[in-house]
């Protein structure tokens, strides 16, 4: 069966600096071309207000950002500039291993079109972001706890579940989300197929160990392959070999109903 793909990836803590000051984030939220998920705008504003108040007015920067010293000072200052900070497209702003390995500028025209249409970034602060959405530089860890409020995940979960049910409806969803962000989607089985990818290595004693540290960069490599065709299915990834040598191990893969787990081992 030919299914359109939806690709879910996490935002990264590492961001590029710079951007345009032609308009601010609030103004960009009112433009459909700069804010694809406008149905989340009101919740996004509440999350931002809560987050920024905790850093400034409530003085909880260290607890929320989980940083110390100069790193804390820099991250706090950058976050407090959020309302008026220069904007940049999400694909350009994100600077973590996944996005570096994805190397979007080097994709051909067809793959770039699929990237812009099918990729969704899940962010603990801003909810869902499309590749072309305009955002300032900021820093917010997954699972950040705000004293007196709790986790922003509790705020986001009901809204993201509705949005992701809609975005996944009738599609094959490739999820490269860590468990904490995947948990924000209380699925209603609207997706035709859910595909999770695990990268692992063989330890000296023969047991498998998940490659958590390298998984995001490896995910970026795989997403390039998924974007190479309109209907890339799990079977089409059987010949994938990562730069570190991960290859599919069919005997370790699992399938249960619409859920599939692909295991690649080096």
pTM for the model stands at 0.95
User: Who contacts 187 (Cβ-Cβ below 8 Å, separation ≥6)?
Assistant: 161, 164, 165, 168, 194
For residue 213, pLDDT over 80 is answered with no
For residue 43, the model assigns a pLDDT of 97
**How far is the C-alpha of 157 from the C-alpha of 183, rounded, in Å?**
8
The token duo for 192 is 């035709």
The proportion of the chain whose per-residue pLDDT surpasses 90, expressed as a percent, equals 90
Question: Taking the CB of residue 91, how many other CB atoms lie within 10 A of it?
Answer: 20
Are the C-beta atoms of 195 and 234 separated by less than 8 Å? yes
For residue 17, the model assigns a pLDDT of 96
- Taking only the tens place, the pLDDT of each residue in 181-208 is 999 999 888 999 999 999 999 888 988 8
**Total domains present in the chain:** 1
Q: Are strands 119-123 and 5-10 parallel, antiparallel or unpaired?
A: parallel
For residue 117, the model assigns a pLDDT of 97
Sign of the Cα pseudo-torsion (164, 170, 171, 172, in order): positive
Residues of the domain holding 174: 5-265
pLDDT classification of 241: cutoffs 50, 70, 90: very high
Average pLDDT over residues 137-146: 92
Burial label for 58, CB within 10 Å (0-12, 13-18, 19+), is middle
CA distances from 89 to 17, 114, 119, 132 (A): 12, 16, 14, 5
**How far is the C-alpha of 247 from the C-alpha of 238, rounded, in Å?**
8
Beta-strand runs (E) in the chain: 5-10, 88-89, 119-123, 127-129, 134-135, 145-146, 150-151, 172-175, 193-202, 208-210, 247-248, 254-256, 259-265
């Amino acid at each position: 069966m030919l299914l359109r793909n939806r690709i879910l990836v996490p935002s990264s803590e590492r961001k590029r600096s710079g951007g345009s000051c032609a308009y601010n984030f609030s103004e960009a939220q009112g433009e459909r071309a700069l804010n694809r998920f406008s149905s989340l705008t009101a919740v996004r504003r509440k999350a931002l207000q809560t987050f920024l108040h905790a850093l400034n007015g409530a003085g909880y920067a260290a607890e929320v950002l989980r940083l110390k010293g100069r790193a804390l000072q820099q991250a706090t200052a950058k976050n407090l500039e959020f309302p008026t900070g220069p904007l940049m497209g999400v694909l350009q702003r994100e600077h973590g291993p996944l996005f570096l390995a994805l190397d979007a500028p080097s994709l051909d025209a067809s793959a770039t079109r699929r990237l812009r249409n099918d990729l969704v970034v899940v962010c603990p602060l801003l909810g869902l972001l499309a590749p072309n959405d305009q955002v300032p530089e900021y820093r917010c860890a997954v699972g950040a706890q705000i004293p007196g409020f709790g986790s922003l995940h509790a705020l986001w979960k009901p809204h993201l579940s509705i949005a992701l049910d809609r975005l996944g409806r009738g599609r094959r969803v490739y999820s490269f989300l860590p468990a904490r962000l995947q948990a924000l989607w209380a699925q209603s089985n609207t997706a035709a197929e859910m595909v999770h990818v695990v990268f692992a290595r063989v330890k000296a004693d023969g047991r498998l160990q998940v490659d958590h540290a390298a998984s995001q960069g490896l995910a970026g490599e795989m997403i390039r392959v998924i974007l190479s065709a309109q209907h890339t299915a799990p079977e089409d990834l059987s010949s994938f070999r990562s730069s570190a040598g991960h290859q599919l191990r069919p005997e370790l893969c699992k399938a249960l109903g619409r859920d599939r787990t692909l295991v690649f081992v080096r």
